[in-house]
Amino acid sequence: RRDVAKKATKKSDKAAPHTRQRLVKTGETRRYGGIPCTVYKAYVGQSRRSPKSELCVATRRDAKISEADYQALMAMNRYQGKMSELAQRGSGFLAFLISDYVAKNVDGVVIYATSYTPATELSLASVSRRPVPAAVFQIPGGYKKEKVF
C-alpha cells in the first residue's frame, strides 16, 4: 500500500483532528461500468485502522474523457472544494467532504465511492457520450440570486 497524502503544511497541521485526511492506494483494481479503476481507502481524523470511505479512481484515458472535459471536471471539483471550505468554517465537520481532498490529491476520475458512516454508495452504471440539451443549463424561471455568506 502507498500513502498518497501530500506532506503536511502549516495550515493542515493546525486543522481540527476530525478534518485531517489521508488517502491510501491499496494496489487493488476493479471495474465499474466496464472502466478499470484503482482502489483507495480514505481515512479522516486520528483513525489509522478504520477507513471512512473507499474510492475507485479511473484514469482520464480509461474513462475515455477528453482533455478539455477532464479539465472542466477538475475545475468543477476545485470550485466544490472552495464551497466546502467556506461551509466548513461555519459548520465544522458536517461540511467536510472527502471528495474535496481526493480532487486535490488524486489524478483521475472517481467512478465508485462508498462511505461507511453514514452508509452511502455511489457507482458508475454506464457511460453515455450524447450531447446534453441546452435547456439543462437554463436557470428556471422564478429563481433569483441570493447572498448566502
pLDDT in tens, 68-123: 988 888 888 778 777 767 666 655 544 445 555 666 677 888 888 887 767 778 88
Count Cβ neighbours within 10 Å for each residue of 21-59 and write b for 16 or more, e otherwise.
bbbbeeeeeeebeebebbbbbbbbbeeeeebbbbbbbbb
Q: What is the tens place of the pLDDT at every residue in 31-52?
A: 998 999 999 988 877 666 788 7
Entry pTM: 0.65
Q: Which segments of 21-147 are extended strands (E)? A: 21-32, 35-44, 53-58, 109-116, 119-123
